[in-house]
């Protein structure tokens, strides 16, 4: 039964739940004989019906295998699932597949009341065209143009690329190159709109540029599974991404029941991960699944987070503590926000808000732990010093003071214990890492759909890290959101009206989206690569300043401890050998306990600073941001200074460095960091984007030699940048996964 989606209340911080959608790309031979058409039509019916039946069985509230839905189905919108077929809108197999899609019907479970809405599955046709709509229609045979217009009006959306079509007589090399580029671009963009590919071809016949066999091999390289229908003998082969096409087709064709069962398993794996493959009997997998479910429930269901926590004084105090500390070392202008893209912005805003919330709680928790640990040690040392200075008869205020100190120490220890247990029990760091990873993956969807891609690159985290399993819930949510958002939902997709093929009447195009490669490349270069390079430059400076400040502070404190201990030893020797005048004896006895107090407190401060350095991972984060800055913007100009030669000169230089660092630390703590040099864009991904933008502009200024299909080049660049960021986010999430440590 199809249940309308529950609307999100106005003003609610929760984004709408995603719809269960499966996107099926199609590539098939355009010249079909009568026998091939007869063999292909029932096979297409079986393939699409199998996909639709399993999809309906995965959806919540649909009476198909009801009660057997996986746990992740609870996070889908209670709405009829959607099976989308994306074709090239060509004659032959494409047209046949679109006609078969209209006849796909899914039967409900027996006993379903007839009065209820019995729609189990909605189907949708969409298309990717290599040229503009009119040009592409004119390139098709006259006998197909009427059917083309009919299917064009059925399509929920059309993606029209910027290819150039010309077929002069005699043909020219430039015209052939333009058509080949356009058809290959069409093939690539069909794959970027698909979760799996259904292909209908005869592998014994030679392929063409952008043809079915070339598309199948590109799909396998793109890690998409392929349902290959052999139109020569009527067999169906399932080819997984890690299979070789020729080897898979050489094996005996599986029986109908076998490939239908395997195809259903593919749908389950695509739409129900991370449930599939996890054994609930294993304790580790069970805890990982609970962790993933808690994250999904919070993201989609819990409207009280983070607003409820933000109202608590303790939560605000933790976040403000880290913000104050981190801003002491921040320098330089921040990066501008990415240009938002609806409807992805609501999901990314939610992920970013939760990431900042939990990251602030986690960092503030360990910072306060170490800060209060220093206070507790200092109070204990001062208490001992006061007792030592008043052994025989203390003043009246001594005992109340010691009692106050003891009470404060007890309160601090209780706070540290509860703070640590709560941070680890509620998994503040894991949640912060999850939401940061999700937000970074969604950042790419501000740019990829603009070029016509709804299939972002996959992340490859270290496979032997526990984070790789826990992160699967985040990946599932991200991929589900991407599948649920249609190109028709993008603001640049607009309805169009074109003249019919015969010049009589019009054809209503529901949504037409035409990517602008020059604008996309400029946005990737300036708003994505440029601003993220600025962010990583600032973050590298901040983390390096924090690491450098902590390192130098511990060095200075170490020398101070050595000096204090040496002074205490000197006083003891002087008293033992009676070197000091009698008038100094009361002063030395008074100084000794306080020197011991100082020598106890300073190592505690050093240990706390090193704990903050370890917990914040400032050194490795500084290095990673520096590497990302180089990858994005190229290497910066560095002025090399000559190395000092003499030992005395080296010592003077070291003293100068330590004094300079101390001064910088003081300025940081006072909130007056030195102004950094501006960021130079001298290479890296920025240079690649800039060179491509120049090539597109130059080609469009010379139409006679323009090869066209620049959307494909813009796609490759955008995917390359997206891959860099998704790998960085995946590796960062493994690096920064840790619990709050107890400084006691």
- 168 CB contacts (<8 Å, ≥6 apart)? 175
The whole-chain average pLDDT of the chain stands at: 83
| 725: its two tokens | 């960021």
What does the pLDDT average to over 655-669?
57
Q: Which residues pair with 531 in a beta bridge?
A: none
Backbone angles phi, psi at 507, to 5 degrees: -120, 125
pLDDT of residue 274: 52
pLDDT in tens, 290-310: 667 888 899 998 888 887 776
Q: Which of 217, 181, 221 lies closest to 199, judged by CA?
A: 217
> Region 520-538: what's the mean pLDDT?
93
Listed range (270-279, 586-595, 691-700) with the worst mean pLDDT: 270-279
The whole model's pTM is what? 0.86
Domain ranges in the chain are: 21-272, 307-452+517-735
pLDDT band at 330 (very low <50, low <70, confident <90, very high): confident
Residues recorded for the chain: 744
Q: Classify residue 40 as exposed, middle or buried by CB count within 10 Å of its CB (0-12, 13-18, 19+).
A: buried
Reply yes or no on whether the pLDDT at 114 is more than 60.
no
Confidence at residue 643, expressed as pLDDT on a 0 to 100 scale? 52
Residue 8 has pLDDT above 70, yes or no: no
Give residue 564's pLDDT.
Answer: 81
Measured CA to CA, the distance from residue 306 to residue 300 in angstroms comes to 13
Residues 6+ apart with CB under 8 A from 146: 501, 502
The alpha carbons of the chain give a radius of gyration, in whole angstroms, of: 33
Indicate the CATH number of 21-272 among 3.40.50.450, 3.10.180.10, 3.40.50.720, 3.40.50.300: 3.40.50.450
Alpha carbons 271 and 72: distance in angstroms, whole number: 9
Specify the pLDDT at position 514.
95
Determine the pLDDT at residue 519: 95
Q: What span, in angstroms and rounded, lies between the C-alpha atoms of 165 and 500?
A: 20
Judge residue 550's burial from the number of C-beta atoms within 10 Å of its C-beta, 0-12 exposed, 13-18 middle, 19 or more buried.
Answer: buried
Q: What is the pLDDT of residue 7?
A: 45
Q: Which residues pair with 327 in a beta bridge?
A: none
Taking the C-alpha atoms of residue 76 and residue 78, their distance in angstroms, rounded to an integer, is 6
Q: Nearest 10 degrees: CA dihedral of 521, 525, 528, 530?
A: -170
The per-residue pLDDT for 596 is 80
| In contact, 520 and 447? CB cutoff 8 Å | yes
pLDDT of 176 reads 92
The mean pLDDT of 500-514, rounded to a whole number, is: 92
pLDDT of residue 423: 87
How would residue 280 be classed by pLDDT, with cut points 50, 70 and 90? very low
**DSSP structure string for 231-259:** TTTTEEEEE-TTS-HHHHHHSPPPPHHHH
Region of poorest pLDDT, from 414-418, 444-448, 498-502, 582-586: 582-586
CB within 8 Å of 330: residues ≥ 6 apart: 538, 541, 542, 673
Residue 43 pLDDT exceeds 80: yes
Ranked by mean pLDDT, which of 39-53, 116-130, 609-623 comes out on top? 39-53
Q: Which residues, 6 or more positions from 626, have their beta carbon under 8 angstroms from its beta carbon?
A: 536, 540, 544
Pick from 230, 226, 186, 190: which is nearest to 210 by CA? 186
Q: Beta strand pairing status for 157-160 and 506-513?
A: parallel
Of the two residues 394 and 689, the one the predictor is more confident about is 689
What's the confidence (pLDDT) of residue 72?
A: 83
Burial of 399 (0-12, 13-18, 19+ CB in 10 A): exposed
For 202-206, 260-264, 498-502, which range has the lowest pLDDT when averaged over its residues? Answer: 202-206
pLDDT confidence of 51, banded at 50, 70, 90? Answer: very high
pLDDT for res 651: 58
Place of tokens 């401890």: 561
pLDDT band at 610 (very low <50, low <70, confident <90, very high): confident
Running DSSP on this structure, what letter comes out for residue 582?
G
Q: Count Cα atoms within 13 angstroms, Cβ side, for 562.
A: 6
**The pLDDT of residue 708 is above 70:** yes
Statement: residue 626 has pLDDT above 60: yes
3-state DSSP assignment of residue 134: helix
Give the CA dihedral 281, 284, 287, 289, nearest 10 degrees. Answer: -70
Inform me whether the pLDDT recorded for 700 exceeds 80: yes
Percent of the chain predicted with pLDDT > 90: 41
Structure tokens at 716: 């490759």
Q: Is the pLDDT of residue 90 over 80?
A: yes
Residue 137 confidence (pLDDT) above 90: yes
Give buried/exposed letters for 586-605 (b at 16+ CB in 10 A, else e): eebeeebbbbbbbbbbbebb
Give bridge partners of residue 238 from the DSSP assignment. Answer: 227
CA dist 348 → 15, 297, 438, 504, 721 (Å): 10, 16, 8, 46, 18
The reported pLDDT for the residue numbered 394 is 58
How many secondary structure helices (H) and strands (E) does the chain include?
24, 9
What 3-state DSSP class applies to 497?
Answer: strand
> What value does the mean pLDDT take over residues 640-645?
51
Strand order from edge to edge, sheet including 235-239: 235-239, 226-230, 196-201, 21-28, 82-87, 122-129, 157-160, 506-513, 494-499
- Among candidates 471, 494, 481, which has minimal Cα distance to 448? 481
- Which residues are within 8 A (CB) of 68 and not within 5 positions of it... i.e. 6 or more apart? 57
Beta strands 506-513; 122-129: pairing state:
unpaired
The DSSP-derived string for 642-667 is PPP-SHHHHHHHHHHHHHHHHHHHHH
| 654 — pLDDT class (breaks 50, 70, 90) | low
Indicate the pLDDT class of residue 714, thresholds 50, 70 and 90.
Answer: very high
Write down the pLDDT at residue 664: 57
Nearest to 630 by CA among 733, 714, 527, 532: 532
431 prior amide bond cis, ω within 30: no
Mean pLDDT of 239-255: 89
Residue with structure tokens 């003081």? 666
Percent of the chain with pLDDT over 70: 83
Which 8-state DSSP code applies to residue 74? G
Token digits for 527? 């708003």
Does residue 105 register a pLDDT over 50?
A: yes
Cβ 163 vs Cβ 709: under 8 Å: yes
The predicted pLDDT at position 687 comes to 93
Query: What digits encode the pLDDT tens for the residues 468-478?
Result: 344 478 888 99
- Per-residue pLDDT at 339: 93
How confident is the model over 174-180, as a mean pLDDT? 93
Write the pLDDT tens digit of every residue in 139-165: 999 999 999 999 999 999 999 999 999
Question: Is the model more confident about 275 or about 538?
Answer: 538
Dihedral sign computed on CA atoms, order 333, 545, 542, 420: negative
Q: What are phi and psi of 25, to 5 degrees?
A: -80, 150
Highest averaged pLDDT of the listed ranges 165-174, 303-312, 597-606: 165-174
Check if the beta carbon of residue 565 is closer than 8 Å to that of residue 668: no
Res. 666 pLDDT band, cuts 50 70 90: low
| pLDDT confidence bin for 116, thresholds 50/70/90 | very low
Residue pair 320/368 in contact (Cβ under 8 Å)? The answer is no
Torsion, CA 338, CA 341, CA 347, CA 348, rounded to 10: -10
Cβ 87 vs Cβ 48: under 8 Å: no
pLDDT of residue 48: 96
**Burial status of residue 214 (CB atoms within 10 A of its CB: 0-12, 13-18, 19 or more):** middle
Tokens in use for 651?
């010592």
Is pLDDT of 732 > 80? no
Average pLDDT over residues 628-641: 74
Closest by CA to 272, choosing from 497, 547, 126, 69, is 69
Per mean pLDDT, which of 242-246, 550-554, 639-643 is the most reliable? 242-246
Report the pLDDT value the prediction gives residue 677, as an integer from 0 to 100: 61
Read off the pLDDT of residues 451-468 as tens digits, 9 standing for 90 and up: 999 999 876 644 444 443
């Amino acid at each position: 039964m199809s249940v309308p989606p529950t609307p999100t209340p106005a003003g609610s911080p929760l984004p709408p739940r995603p719809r269960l959608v499966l996107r099926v790309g199609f590539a098939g031979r355009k010249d079909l004989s009568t026998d091939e058409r007869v063999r292909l039509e029932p096979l297409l019916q079986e393939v699409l019906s199998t996909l639709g039946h399993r999809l309906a069985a995965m959806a919540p509230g649909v009476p198909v295998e009801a009660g057997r839905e996986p746990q992740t189905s609870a996070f889908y919108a209670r709405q009829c699932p959607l099976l989308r077929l994306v074709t090239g809108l060509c004659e032959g197999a494409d047209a046949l597949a679109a006609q078969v899609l209209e006849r796909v019907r899914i039967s409900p479970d027996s006993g379903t009341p007839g009065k209820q809405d019995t729609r189990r599955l909605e189907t949708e046709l969409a298309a990717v065209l290599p040229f503009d709509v009119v040009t592409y229609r004119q390139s098709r045979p006259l006998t197909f143009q009427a059917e083309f217009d009919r299917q064009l009006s059925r399509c929920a959306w059309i993606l029209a690329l910027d290819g150039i079509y010309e077929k002069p007589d005699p043909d020219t090399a430039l015209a052939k190159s333009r058509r080949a580029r356009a058809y290959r671009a069409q093939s690539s963009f069909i794959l970027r709109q698909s979760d799996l590919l259904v292909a209908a071809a005869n592998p014994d016949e030679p392929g063409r540029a952008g043809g079915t066999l070339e598309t199948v091999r590109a799909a396998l390289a793109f890690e998409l599974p392929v349902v290959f229908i052999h139109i020569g003998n009527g067999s169906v082969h399932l080819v997984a991404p890690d299979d070789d096409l020729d080897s898979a087709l050489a094996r005996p064709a599986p029986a109908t029941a076998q490939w239908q069962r395997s195809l259903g398993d593919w749908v389950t794996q695509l739409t129900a991960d991370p449930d599939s493959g996890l054994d609930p009997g294993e304790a580790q997998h069970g805890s990982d699944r609970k962790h993933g479910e808690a994250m999904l429930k919070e993201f989609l269901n819990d409207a009280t987070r983070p607003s409820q926590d933000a109202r608590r004084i303790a939560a605000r105090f933790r976040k403000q503590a880290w913000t104050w500390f981190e801003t002491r070392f921040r320098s330089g202008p921040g990066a501008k926000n990415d240009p938002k893209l609806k409807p992805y912005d609501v999901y990314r805003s939610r992920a970013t808000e939760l990431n900042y919330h939990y990251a602030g709680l986690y960092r503030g928790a360990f910072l306060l732990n170490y800060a209060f640990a220093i206070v507790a040690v200092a109070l204990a040392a001062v208490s001992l010093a006061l007792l030592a200075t008043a052994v025989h008869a203390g003043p009246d205020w001594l005992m109340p003071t010691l009692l106050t100190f003891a009470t404060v120490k007890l309160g601090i220890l209780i706070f540290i214990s509860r703070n640590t247990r709560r941070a680890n029990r509620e998994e503040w760091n894991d949640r912060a890492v999850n939401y940061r990873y999700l937000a970074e993956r969604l950042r790419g969807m501000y740019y990829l759909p603009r070029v016509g891609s709804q299939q972002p690159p996959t992340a490859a985290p270290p496979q032997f890290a526990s984070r790789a399993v826990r992160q699967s819930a985040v990946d599932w949510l991200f991929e589900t959101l991407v599948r649920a958002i249609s190109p028709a939902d993008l603001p640049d997709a607009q309805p169009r009206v074109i003249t019919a093929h015969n010049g009589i009447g019009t054809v209503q195009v529901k949504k037409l989206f035409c990517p602008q490669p020059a604008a996309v490349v400029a946005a990737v270069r300036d708003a994505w690569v440029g601003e993220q390079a600025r962010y990583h430059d600032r973050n590298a400076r901040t983390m390096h300043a924090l690491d450098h400040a902590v390192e130098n502070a511990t060095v200075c404190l170490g020398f101070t401890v050595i000096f204090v201990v040496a002074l205490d030893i000197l006083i003891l020797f002087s008293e033992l050998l009676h070197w000091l005048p009698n008038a100094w004896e009361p002063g030395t006895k008074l100084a000794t306990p306080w020197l011991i107090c100082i020598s106890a407190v300073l190592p505690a401060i050093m240990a706390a600073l090193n704990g903050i350095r370890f917990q914040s991972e400032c050194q490795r984060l500084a290095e990673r941001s520096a590497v990302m800055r180089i990858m994005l913007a190229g290497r910066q100009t560095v002025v090399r200074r000559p190395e000092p030669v003499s030992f005395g000169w080296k010592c003077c230089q070291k003293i100068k460095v330590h004094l300079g660092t101390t001064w910088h630390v003081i300025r940081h703590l006072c909130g007056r960091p030195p102004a950094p040099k501006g960021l130079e864009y001298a290479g890296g991904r920025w240079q690649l984007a800039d060179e491509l933008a120049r090539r597109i502009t130059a080609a469009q200024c010379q139409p006679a030699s323009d090869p066209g299909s620049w959307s494909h080049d813009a796609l490759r660049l955008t995917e390359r940048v997206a891959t860099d960021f998704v790998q960085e986010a995946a590796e960062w999430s493994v690096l920064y996964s840790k619990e709050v440590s107890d400084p006691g």
